[in-house]
Structure 1
Amino acid sequence: MTKPPKSKPLLSESDAPLRSRPRKPRDPAQPNLPLDPMPDRIDPCLALLKSRPPKGPEWAFEIKWDGYRLSVHIEPKGIRIITRGGHDWTDRFPAIAKAAKKLGVATAIIDGEAVVLDEQGRSDFGLLQQSLGGRSGTRTSNEAIFMAFDLLYFDGRDLRQLEFTARRHLLEGLIKSRDDVIRLSEEIEADGDRLFLAACDHGLEGIIAKDRESTYRSGRLGDWLKIKCVQSDGFAIVGYEHSFVARAGIGSLLLAARHGRKLVYVGSVGTGFNERTAHELRESLDKLKVKKPPVEYSGRRKYIVWVKPTLVAEVEYRAWTRDGKLRQSSYKGLRDPDENAAIYEIE
Structure 2
Amino acid sequence: MLAQTGVHRTGSRVVAEVKYDGCRGIVAVDGHRIRARSRPGSSMVGWFPELGSLAKDLAGRRVVLDGEVIAADPSGRPDFGRLQRRIGRTPRRLVGLDPVRFVAFDVLSVDGSSVCDRPWQQRRELLEELGESAGPQWQVAPVFDDIDAAVDATSEFGLEGVVVKDRSAPYRPGQRTRAWIKVKHTTVSRFVVGGLATTSRCRDALLVGDLLPDGRIAYRGCVEVGTAKGRRAEAAHLLRQATTEASPFDSPPGFSQVVWVEPLLIVEVRHLGTTRGGRLREPMLMAPVDVVRGGL
What is the TM-score with the length of structure 2 in the denominator? Answer: 0.69
Alignment of 1:180-329 (within 5 A): 180-190=136-146, 192-217=147-172, 218-230=174-186, 239=207, 251-257=218-224, 259-260=226-227, 297-298=239-240, 300-302=242-244, 303-304=247-248, 305=252, 307-308=254-255, 325-326=268-269
Output the amino acid matched with 2:161. G
The 1:54/1:333 distance shift into structure 2, 3 A limit, reads: farther
The answer to whether 1:68 aligns with 2:23 is yes
Structure 2 match to 1:19: none
Q: Could you say what secondary structure the match of 1:54 adopts?
A: coil
Change (3 A) 1:343 1:118: closer
Query: 1:108 aligns to what SS in structure 2?
Result: strand
Contact residue 259 and residue 345 of structure 1 kept, 8 A: no
Q: Distance in 1 between matches of 2:254 and 2:112?
A: 50
1:194 aligned counterpart, secondary structure: helix
User: How is 1:111-190 mapped onto 2 (pairs within 5 angstroms)?
Assistant: 111-132=66-87, 136-138=88-90, 139-140=93-94, 143-176=99-132, 180-190=136-146
Per the alignment, in what secondary structure is the counterpart of residue 223 of structure 1?
strand
Partners of 1:145 and 1:79 in 2: how far apart?
A: 15
The total of aligned residue pairs comes to: 247
- Secondary structure of the 1:174 match is helix
* Alpha-carbon RMSD: 3.8
How much has 1:222 moved relative to structure 2? 1.1
Please state if 1:88 is matched with 2:31: no
Is 1:107 equivalent to 2:48 in the alignment? no
Residue 105 of structure 1: how far off its partner (Å): 4.2
**Larger % of strand: which?**
2
Matched AA of 2:28: H
Q: 1: CA distance between counterparts of 2:253 and 2:44?
A: 34
Tell me, in whole angstroms, the C-alpha distance in 1 between the residues paired with 2:187 and 2:5.
10
Greater CA deviation, 92-101 or 202-211?
A: 92-101
1:46 and 1:220 in contact (8 A); partners too: yes
Aligned-residue offset at 1:176: 1.6
User: Structure 2: which 5+ residue stretches go unaligned?
Assistant: 189-200, 258-265, 288-296
CA contact 1:118–1:124 (8 Å) conserved in 2: yes
| 2-structure distance, mates of 1:215, 1:328 | 31
* Cα separation, 2, equivalents of 1:216 and 1:231: 31
Q: Secondary structure at the match of 1:227?
A: strand
- The secondary structure found in structure 1 opposite 2:46 is helix
Normalising by structure 1, report the TM-score.
0.60
Whether the 8 Å contact between 1:258 and 1:343 is mirrored in structure 2 is: no
Paired position in structure 2 for 1:40: none
Separation in structure 2 between the aligned mates of residue 306 and residue 215 of structure 1, nearest angstrom = 44
Secondary structure class of the residue paired with 1:47: strand
Q: Which secondary structure does the structure 2 equivalent of 1:208 belong to?
A: strand
Inter-partner Cα distance in structure 1 for 2:119 and 2:76: 30
- Tell me which residue corresponds to 2:5: 49
Which amino acid in 2 is paired with 1:69?
R
In structure 2, give the amino acid aligned to 1:59: V
Name the CA distance, whole Å, in 2 between partners of 1:55 and 1:102: 35
Name the CA distance, whole Å, in 1 between partners of 2:98 and 2:220.
31
**TM-superposed deviation, 1:229:** 2.0
- Aligned pair in 2 of structure 1 residues 224, 243: CA closer, same or farther (>3 Å)? closer
- Residues 10-65 of structure 1: CA deviation (Å, up to 9, x unaligned): xxxxxxxxxxxxxxxxxxxxxxxxxxxxxxxxxxx112123x54212110111110
